Amino acid sequence: MKFVVSSSVLLKQLSAINGVVSTNPIVPILENFLFKLEANILTVTASDLQTVIITEIEVEGGDKGAIAVPAKLLLDTLRGLPEQPITFNVDEETFGTEIVSDNGRYKLSGENPIDFPKTPSVNRGQAVDFSSASLGTAIANTIFATSTDDLRPAMTGVFVQIGAESATFVATDGHRLVRYRRTDIQATADTSMIIQRKALNLLKSCLPSEDVPLKAEFTASNAFFSFNNIRMICRLIDERFPDYENAIPTNNPNTLTINRMEMLNSLKRISIYSNRTTHQVRLKMSLNDLSISAEDLDYSNEANEKLMCEYNGDAMEIGFNAKFLIEILSNLVSKNVTFELSAPNRAGLIIPVEQEENEDILMLVMPVMLNTYA
């Protein structure tokens, strides 16, 4: 088997799918890329058993064959080469692979492609068409709030509900919750699933910078995404997602509207002085006035700042984990945000004031019990 390909084109495509390759996989063959050549189309597959990413590259060659090549060794070789045509010569009996460049030869030992896991196929799944930009935005707005607790697998992914009017993406780790809804993503029939966090991170990194059409198909066990020359298949999390709607408080008479960056920068400064375990900050609100403070009794550290805001409601104090607030505010792009609050022991809602026409963003964060310092 022989083909010629641009070193930079191959490097770009392999780098896009390399994130799925594990360094110490359960099955050693998964340390490899699977190369399949048919005429002048080279199909490259990477897998970790849970997620499969496939890309197609146009090459010069008329052969047909397959080989599994070591991913790290090949990528390291390509990164060191300047842009040039390179030739792959593959011995399909010994699986030895030779790469020939303008001024060098590199021999590496491949493996039998038969050992590479089979790629799942779509069997009349539910299909949805939307743009890569809208999916990328949905992932960015939710993935940070997923749980890392493997004992609660349902919360380690993003819950996706697609219906006739909109698509809703939900993530929670029990301390915060994000509900991101888009009205420009719709399906003929209602469907819901939980997509793994790692798969969504890989998908987001593969999405092109320009907005392109994207097709998604869902079966009972897998999600399939295809755009440009990339296809991705990921196994869904087979668990029941928590009833998130009941966690969102509906009666929140106290509202605080503030410049997002001013509050974010203040929280970053104040949190330095918070307790290293709880990261607790105290928000004290009265008419058009917000005081943010923190104290670490173990080290006699304390700090407070006052910020201008629009506050309507009863004067109140509430405690939050500063890390959660900082992460939520960092992931929003709105100039101003509104906090909707009811009581110091009830969850607070954070809603961006400026939102795109087709989106509806709601973020929830649980309060922490306030210390009794004055």
Residue type, position 244, single letter: Y
Provide CB contacts within 8 A for 27, sequence distance 6+: 49, 117
In a shared domain, residues 303 and 318: yes
Provide CB contacts within 8 A for 34, sequence distance 6+: 44, 45, 46, 47, 66, 67, 68, 113, 116
**Predicted local confidence at residue 374, as pLDDT:** 40
In a shared domain, residues 69 and 143: no
168 assigned to some structural domain: yes
Domain boundary residue, one of 115, 148, 165? 115
- The neighbouring-strand residues paired with 67 are 35
310 assigned to some structural domain: yes
In a shared domain, residues 239 and 265: no
Domain boundary residue, one of 211, 245, 279? 245
In a shared domain, residues 154 and 201: yes
The b/e string for 173-194 (b: 16+ C-beta within 10 A; e otherwise) is bebbbbbbbbeebebeeebebb
In a shared domain, residues 43 and 87: yes
Give the integer Cα–Cα distance in Å for 71 and 23: 10
165 assigned to some structural domain: yes
**Predicted local confidence at residue 371, as pLDDT:** 62
**Predicted local confidence at residue 373, as pLDDT:** 47
Can you list the residues of the chain whose pLDDT is less than 50? 373-374
**Predicted local confidence at residue 61, as pLDDT:** 85
Do the Cβ atoms of 281 and 293 come closer than 8 Å?
yes
In a shared domain, residues 88 and 138: no
- Which region holds residue 313: left if phi is over 0, alpha if psi is between -120 and 50, else beta? left
In a shared domain, residues 271 and 168: no
370 assigned to some structural domain: no
Q: Is 53 exposed, middle or buried (0-12, 13-18, 19+ CB in 10 A)?
A: buried
Domain count, the chain: 3
In a shared domain, residues 171 and 198: yes
In a shared domain, residues 253 and 210: no
Residue type, position 81, single letter: L
pTM: 0.91
The dihedral built from the CA positions of residue 191, 211, 20 and 60, taken in this order, carries a sign that is: positive
The packing angle between helices 197-206 and 132-142, to 10°, is 140
For the domain that residue 86 is a member of, what is the CATH number?
3.10.150.10
Provide CB contacts within 8 A for 87, sequence distance 6+: 2, 3, 4, 99, 100
372 assigned to some structural domain: no
What's the domain range around 299?
A: 248-365
**Predicted local confidence at residue 369, as pLDDT:** 87
In a shared domain, residues 68 and 21: yes
58 assigned to some structural domain: yes
Do the Cβ atoms of 159 and 241 come closer than 8 Å?
yes
Give the integer Cα–Cα distance in Å for 231 and 291: 50
Place of tokens 């492609």: 113
Do the Cβ atoms of 340 and 282 come closer than 8 Å?
no
Around Cβ 151, how many Cβ atoms within 10 Å?
7
**Predicted local confidence at residue 372, as pLDDT:** 55
371 assigned to some structural domain: no
In a shared domain, residues 241 and 252: no
Around Cβ 94, how many Cβ atoms within 10 Å?
9
Residue type, position 223, single letter: A
In a shared domain, residues 265 and 302: yes
373 assigned to some structural domain: no
